[in-house]
């Protein structure tokens, strides 16, 4: 996707949501980022006599959140939308009109037209209705392309178990397997994955796929580096368990689309970066997979920003 006119915000995606419990059913109500943002933009229509900020506080309270957490969540949806557009464009789909409309969606999120503290004389939409319809059309396109897979509740429960087991493995690994820097990096991914699993209706399944693929890849890199065969086997098995839950619902084509523009045949994680005993900051800067510029919990990595691994672990290395 062209960088012209592109905005790289630094935001968090946080909030609350219900998780599905019925075994064997798809996780109910999980929408992709475009649909979630469209719903939120509609909620942000400013009633007569109110300010944008005041109304957004009311909306956030109704949703069990606060105004800035909700705003940060919307920024996260925008970033995922851009990733989906990258994926569609990389696959050869004509998405130019969507791309041209992205700035309008950013303006809606930041309430550019109405401002924050100006009371409106009549009901005001924060974006042109045509742009909102286009956003909902994009949501349908993303679903059709299966870029936001629907994970069955049974597999979501299994993934929760797999992530917990990964956390136990990382926390209990000796210094001969993991130094402090890589351990913190992996624990950070595990925290992310756990949070997204519990709040999947807010984050969406694409965010969950990204963080669990990153976690599984990093664990696989550890497995390739350890010398003890039993330890190697354990790490491989736990890595595969994290990734295996997606095997029935994530088409290989979709994975390829998402990574094409950011990694042309480069590995998900550079395994040499997890080597003991030395881990310099310059090597650590490559620890984050090249195809994951957005962290649903920690924010966005754009031009000029520190890679997430380096941002999280900035001292003691």
- Average pLDDT of the segment spanning 211-238: 94
- Average pLDDT of the segment spanning 82-87: 94
Cβ count within 10 A of residue 117: 10
Instruction: Determine how β-strand 299-300 pairs with β-strand 294-295.
Output: antiparallel
Can you tell me the distance from the alpha carbon of 310 to that of 286, in angstroms, rounded to the nearest whole number? 9
Angle between the N-to-C axes of helices 129-144 and 33-43, in degrees from 0 to 180, rounded to the nearest 10: 160
Collapse the DSSP code of 116 into the 3-class scheme (helix H, G, I; strand E, B; otherwise coil) and give the result. Answer: coil
pLDDT band at 248 (very low <50, low <70, confident <90, very high): low
- Average pLDDT of the segment spanning 180-189: 95
* Sequence spans of domains, the chain: 33-144, 153-302
Structure confidence at residue 184 (pLDDT): 95
- Average pLDDT of the segment spanning 79-98: 94
Six-digit token pair at 281? 């900051």
pLDDT digits (tens, 9 = 90+) for 294-311: 455 544 333 333 233 323
pLDDT digits (tens, 9 = 90+) for 121-179: 999 999 999 999 999 999 999 999 888 777 788 889 999 999 999 999 999 999 999 99
Structure confidence at residue 152 (pLDDT): 84
Structure confidence at residue 162 (pLDDT): 95
Share the mean pLDDT of the chain: 74
pLDDT higher at 204 or 315: 204
Structure confidence at residue 54 (pLDDT): 96
- Average pLDDT of the segment spanning 216-236: 94
| Count of positions (residues) in the chain | 317
Can you give the pTM of this predicted structure?
0.64
Structure confidence at residue 245 (pLDDT): 81
Asked whether the beta carbons of 14 and 67 are under 8 A apart, the reply is no
Six-digit token pair at 116? 């924050």
Q: What percent of the chain has pLDDT over 70?
A: 69
Structure confidence at residue 304 (pLDDT): 31
Cβ count within 10 A of residue 278: 8
pLDDT digits (tens, 9 = 90+) for 17-67: 322 332 233 444 588 999 999 999 999 999 999 999 999 999 999 988 899
Give CA separation, 313 vs 167, 180, 182, 211, 268, in Å: 18, 9, 9, 18, 20
Structure confidence at residue 90 (pLDDT): 95
Residue 84, pLDDT > 80, answer yes
- Average pLDDT of the segment spanning 269-297: 36
Can you tell me the distance from the alpha carbon of 272 to that of 267, in angstroms, rounded to the nearest whole number? 11
Residue 221, pLDDT > 50, answer yes
Residue 200, pLDDT > 70, answer yes
Structure confidence at residue 268 (pLDDT): 38
- Average pLDDT of the segment spanning 67-77: 90
């Amino acid at each position: 996707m062209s960088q012209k006119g592109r905005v790289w915000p630094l935001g968090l995606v946080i909030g609350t949501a219900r998780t599905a419990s019925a075994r064997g059913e798809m996780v109910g109500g999980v929408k992709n980022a475009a649909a979630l943002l469209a719903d939120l933009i509609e909620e942000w229509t400013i009633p007569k006599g109110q300010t944008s900020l005041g109304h957004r506080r009311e909306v956030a309270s109704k949703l069990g959140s606060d105004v800035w957490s909700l705003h940060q969540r919307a920024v996260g949806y925008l970033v995922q939308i851009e990733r989906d557009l990258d994926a569609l464009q990389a696959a050869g789909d004509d998405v130019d009109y969507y791309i041209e409309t992205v700035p309008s969606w950013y303006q809606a999120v930041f309430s550019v037209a109405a401002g924050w503290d100006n009371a409106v004389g009549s009901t005001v939409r924060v974006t042109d209705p045509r742009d909102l319809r286009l956003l909902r059309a994009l949501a349908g396109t993303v679903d059709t392309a299966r870029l936001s897979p629907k994970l069955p509740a049974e597999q979501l429960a299994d993934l929760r178990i797999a992530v917990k087991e990964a956390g136990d493995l990382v926390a209990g690994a000796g210094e001969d397997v993991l130094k402090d820097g890589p351990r913190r990096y992996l624990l950070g991914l595990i925290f992310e994955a756990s949070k997204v699993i519990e709040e999947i209706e807010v984050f969406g399944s694409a965010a969950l796929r990204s963080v669990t693929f990153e976690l599984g890849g990093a664990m696989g890199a550890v497995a390739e580096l350890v010398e003890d065969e039993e330890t190697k086997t354990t790490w491989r098995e736990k890595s595969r368990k994290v990734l295996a839950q997606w095997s029935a619902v994530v088409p290989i084509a979709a994975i390829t689309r998402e990574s094409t523009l950011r990694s042309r045949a480069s590995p998900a994680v550079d395994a040499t970066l997890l080597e003991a005993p030395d881990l310099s900051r310059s090597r650590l800067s490559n620890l984050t997979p090249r195809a994951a510029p957005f962290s649903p919990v920690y924010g966005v990595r754009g031009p000029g920003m520190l890679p997430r691994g380096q941002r999280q672990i900035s001292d003691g290395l």
